[in-house]
């Protein structure tokens, strides 16, 4: 076979890369400019190198004569280690700064097959819309303070055991279709305006003393 018809070998197409250390001196979009013993060069970040390189970093460089085949494989040394950023394929990032961890993504899903536990001194949740579905909930609170503009509660059965309850409202309306029963040791009603009781049948029964006092009393 003549030499003109021979196929070029893989070695001729792809120059053999060499491993070397380099210092990052600049960046433009996806290209990083480096200074090494071989001089100045440019390279891209390998997919496996999740830690985003920064200017001043000492990196492990797979250098080739073709810049398209030169890659930063790892970050070896960083002058200041108080912050870093991980860039995952797909656009999600994780960054740390002075002990704080931040996760940025279009959506985050955490799945625990058996349990998911959070332990912290302070928990803050800020969302424009939230949906929570829980089959069984147990909660222990020392103090609860809530501000609600509109609250709608739909429940089949509600049981509350409260040592002391204080309710302040500007207006209160209650509709009960069947039975409304109150059992108390003592009940006191203090109405500044008018008290009106209206029913089809009314029965008042007392074992002791009954007193009705008013400037004017109309019966019938």
Asked if the structure places residue 78 within a domain, the reply is yes
Mean pLDDT of the chain: 88
Distance of CA 208 to the CA centre of its chain: 61
Asked if the structure places residue 143 within a domain, the reply is no
* pLDDT tens track for 38-49: 899 999 999 999
Asked if the structure places residue 55 within a domain, the reply is yes
Q: Please state the rounded mean pLDDT for residues 60-70.
A: 91
Asked if the structure places residue 58 within a domain, the reply is yes
Asked if the structure places residue 53 within a domain, the reply is yes
Q: What is the CATH number of the domain that holds 29?
A: 2.40.50.140
User: Greatest CA span in the chain, whole angstroms?
Assistant: 129
Domains identified in the chain, total number = 1
Say whether 102 sits in a helix, a strand or coil: strand
* pLDDT tens track for 85-133: 999 988 899 999 988 999 999 999 999 999 999 999 999 999 999 999 9
- Tell me the residue length of the chain: 220
Asked if the structure places residue 149 within a domain, the reply is no
* pTM (predicted TM-score): 0.63
Asked if the structure places residue 64 within a domain, the reply is yes
Query: Measured between alpha carbons, how far is 55 from 24 in angstroms, rounded to an integer?
Result: 5
In percent, how much of the chain has pLDDT > 70? 93
Question: What phi and psi, each to the nearest 5 degrees, are found at residue 74?
Answer: -160, 160
Structure tokens belonging to residue 152 = 């709608």
Domain range for 13 is 8-97
Say whether 79 sits in a helix, a strand or coil: coil
pLDDT at 15: 64
How many C-beta atoms lie closer than 10 Å to residue 84's C-beta? 15
Asked if the structure places residue 14 within a domain, the reply is yes
* pLDDT tens track for 70-80: 999 999 999 98
């Amino acid at each position: 076979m003549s030499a003109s018809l021979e196929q070029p070998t893989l070695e001729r197409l792809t120059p053999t890369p060499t491993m070397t250390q380099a210092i990052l001196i600049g960046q433009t979009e996806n290209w990083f400019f480096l200074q090494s013993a071989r001089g100045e060069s440019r390279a891209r970040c390998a997919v496996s190198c999740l830690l985003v390189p920064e200017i001043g970093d000492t990196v492990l460089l797979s250098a080739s004569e073709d810049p398209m085949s030169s890659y930063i494989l790892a970050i070896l040394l960083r002058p200041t280690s108080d912050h870093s950023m991980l860039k995952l394929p797909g656009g999600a990032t994780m960054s740390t700064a002075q002990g704080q961890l931040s996760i940025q993504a279009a959506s985050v899903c955490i799945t625990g097959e058996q349990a998911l536990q959070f332990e912290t001194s302070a928990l803050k949740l800020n969302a424009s819309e939230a949906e929570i579905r829980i089959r069984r909930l147990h909660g222990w609170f020392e103090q609860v303070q809530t501000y609600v503009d509109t609250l709608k509660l739909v429940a089949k059965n509600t049981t509350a055991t409260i040592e002391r309850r204080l309710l302040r409202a500007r207006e209160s309306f209650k509709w009960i279709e069947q039975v409304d029963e109150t059992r108390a040791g003592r009940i006191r009603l203090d109405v500044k305006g008018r008290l009106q009781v209206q029913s089809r049948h009314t029965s008042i029964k007392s074992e002791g003393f009954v007193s009705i006092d008013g400037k004017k009393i109309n019966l019938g």
